[in-house]
Structure 1
Amino acid sequence: MVDGEQVSPGVVCLGSGRRQERGGPEDAYALYDVHGWTVVVAGSLGAPWDGPDEINVRFTEIEAVDSVVDSDGITGEILRAIPLGDARKRIKAIKDEWRREQGHHDAVAARVETDEEWARFAREYVALVKEGQRHPIRHMAAMTGISRNTLSARVRRARERGFLEGPAGKPADRLGARAAEILREEAAQ
């Protein structure tokens, strides 16, 4: 993914990065020229999804005025030509970098295999619940880039393995004895 590359016929990525507009939350964006129209595809950095949540299409190229006049404004063809797949990849890469900068990459491992990793995962989950997160899995997904389905399965497995405890049907609100013991041992080292 290189800025200035042709994504498809008539569509060029002009750049991507992070921005903050009008005092709002910071977001990741990708900027395209789509058949003479400037298109900004953006996604909020703090959103619990990786894809875009905003598309802005505007005319800016005076050289392409004839094609815009011929089309009589934004058409379905222009909208279909917006490279959402490419934008999603660029936005996800920017969000992953932002998450690492925020220190969220170490909190939850991409893969959880050892008992120590399960205990650390349980600790992070319980910390979110205790700080009042109403949707801890959704929040953890937003901060780590790990899918909600994967995290939900991990919580279920952590309960089964004795790393998490709590009322059935509610978020686990405390560490299981197994996790507590492993974390105590880690802290003592």
Structure 2
Amino acid sequence: MSEQQGEQGGPVVAQDIGPWVVEMQWPEGVTQGGPAVLVVRPKDRENRPLGGISSTVLREIDFKAAAERLRAQAATSEMRSQAREEYEAGRTERLRQALAQGVTDEYLAMLASAYVNYLSGGGKGPLAHLAERVGKGESTIKGHLWQARKRGLLIGTPGRAGGVLTLKAIAILTRVVPGGERISIVDVAAETAQEKPIEGE
């Protein structure tokens, strides 16, 4: 049984029943009651089961288990969302405290991480977003991101928003940020796939 997002925006829970896949979709935000949409399709679309869908297949659909799975997914999603909000609040405080010590590599690595994270999550206007969090002007933040690139902490494409953290930045974050050892390996892979910058001032 699996859960995914349906075409119309509501969550979908799938069950395997013999040669069939049953997909149940609930309206967005609804976790009680049965599904609003039910789709039964063959697992192998090239070799459809003989006789088609039978009443036996329909009786084997476990609506209770699907609803429980849906609620478990919703609870997990809510916990993740809450943890993300708490982490982001902590990130803002860490950024401000680090900047109070000066424009150090530690501060720049944290700023670069916040920048990459915000854009990878689909955020718009990263300079305004970071300026509000750090308590500085957009031009100051732009200058700090330039310094992060110059010091070998962030790789980016000139004239375009975004980038990836370097191994140097990840090493700093691992040391100074709570949970830093869980920095995405995707950042490392992306960094090693590109030409490495010359590190240093």
Fold-level similarity (TM above 0.5): no
TM-score w.r.t. structure 2 length?
Answer: 0.38
TM-score w.r.t. structure 1 length?
Answer: 0.40
The structure carrying a bigger helix percent of its residues is 2
Structure with bigger RCO (C-alpha 8 Å, 6+ apart): 1
* Larger-gyration structure (1/2): 2
The structure carrying a bigger strand percent of its residues is 1
